[in-house]
Amino acid sequence: MKFKNLSYKKNIACLFSCAIFFILTSCEEDLTKRNGNQSKNFPSQIINNARIIQRDSGFVTLKALAPIIEKYELIDSPYVVARKGINIEFFDKKKPKLPGKITAKYARIFEYKKFYEAKGNVRITTNEGQRFAMQSIYWDQRKNRIYTKDTVYVTMEDGSTLVGANGMTAKDDFSEYTFFNSSGDFSSKQLSESKK
Contact status, residue 101 vs residue 126, Cβ threshold 8 Å: no
Q: Indicate the range of 61-65, 92-96, 149-153 predicted with least confidence.
A: 92-96
Partners of 170 in the β-ladder: 146, 177
- Residues 153-168 as b/e (b if ≥16 CB within 10 A, e otherwise) read ebbbeeeeebebeebb
Contact status, residue 185 vs residue 175, Cβ threshold 8 Å: no
Contacts of 18 (CB under 8 A, 6+ apart): none
Residue 187 clears pLDDT 70, i.e. is over it: no
Res. 34 pLDDT band, cuts 50 70 90: low
Rounded to two decimals, what is the model's pTM? Answer: 0.69
Residue 132 clears pLDDT 50, i.e. is over it: yes
pLDDT in tens, 81-97: 999 999 988 887 777 77
Partners of 129 in the β-ladder: none
Q: Indicate the range of 111-120, 129-138, 169-178, 182-191 predicted with least confidence.
A: 182-191
Res. 179 pLDDT band, cuts 50 70 90: confident
Residue 20 clears pLDDT 90, i.e. is over it: no
